[in-house]
Amino acid sequence: MALEVTGEYTLPLQRETVWWHLNDPAFLQRCIPGCESFERLSENEFAVVTKLTVGPVSARFKGKVILQNIDAPRGYTLVGEGEGGLAGFAKGNAMVTLVEVAEGTHLSYRAEAQIGGKIAQLGQRLIAGAAKKIADRFFANCADALVYR
């Protein structure tokens, strides 16, 4: 099952500050919903463990996140994949764009995800709602952490 989620935020911070935080593993771990660990494997690759609940299915996903198409400080693509045991798998990417605006920095994202296994059997409406909620929570967490740090 394929999903697409988009969103945007305006942050009252300089683009370079936002960029720096979006490349900090500790910051990203704090912002990813349910993230239990976020460890650097190489300059742009990270091992991630996240616990997620979608409807009646709860699972711990273990996987990787890779930063690609890096265009500092304008944006990058986050590419991730994870296995959740019997719950299934998830993989996807999020293109993150940072634009300087009078108020600070405009952050926008477009995420695409594919899921399979037991979690995909819950139905597209429930999965789409959960994916949107998770992506929005991540970027809202980022915005809150940046603004109220």
| DSSP reduced 3-state for 119 | helix
Comparing CA positions, the residue from 77, 81, 134 lying closest to residue 110 is 77
Each residue's pLDDT, cut to its tens digit, for the chain (149 residues) gives: 677 888 898 999 999 999 999 999 999 999 999 999 999 999 999 999 999 887 788 889 999 999 999 999 999 999 999 999 888 888 889 999 999 999 999 999 998 888 888 877 776 677 777 777 888 888 888 888 887 75
